[in-house]
Amino acid sequence: DTLIYRLIFNLTENAIRYNRPDGKVRVSVSQEDNNLVLRVADTGCGIPDKYKESIFQPFFRVDKSRSRENGGVGLGLSLVWEIADIHGGKVQAEESTENGTVMAVTFPLNKENKDN
């Protein structure tokens, strides 16, 4: 699905863009209970707690001074939010410290079929 590709691309691109030089990015998928969980982890500087919800708003930038040097317009994570929602999922900054960030997208595996 093109939208799922875009979701993974946007999360991975952000992890690379806001990482430290020579940092690492790890993408993983796991099944937890009745959910599929996609995680993208980086070794960047983290997201301050006060911005963990705001980062999903269109055009929001944590550090506006870095916008010009890193490119982008602040739409990547808002698109991730919308794509996850369309598929019955949710996205969150699961973990974020000065040692990096873990973005987690959770999708339900057993969606009830409303047509039956």
* pTM reported for the whole predicted model: 0.83
In-domain check, residue 50 = yes
In-domain check, residue 87 = yes
In-domain check, residue 115 = no
pLDDT of residue 53: 84
**Percentage with pLDDT > 90 across the chain:** 67
Q: What are 54-81's pLDDT values in tens digits?
A: 888 888 777 654 454 555 667 889 999 9
In-domain check, residue 18 = yes
In the chain, the number of structural domains is 1
In-domain check, residue 91 = yes
pLDDT of residue 50: 87
pLDDT of residue 114: 43
**What is the span of the domain harbouring residue 38?**
2-108
Q: Which residue, among 32, 23, 14, has the nearest Cα to 74 in the 3D structure?
A: 14
In-domain check, residue 9 = yes
CA pair distance 88, 83, nearest whole angstrom: 9
Residues of the chain with pLDDT below 70 are: 63-73, 111-116
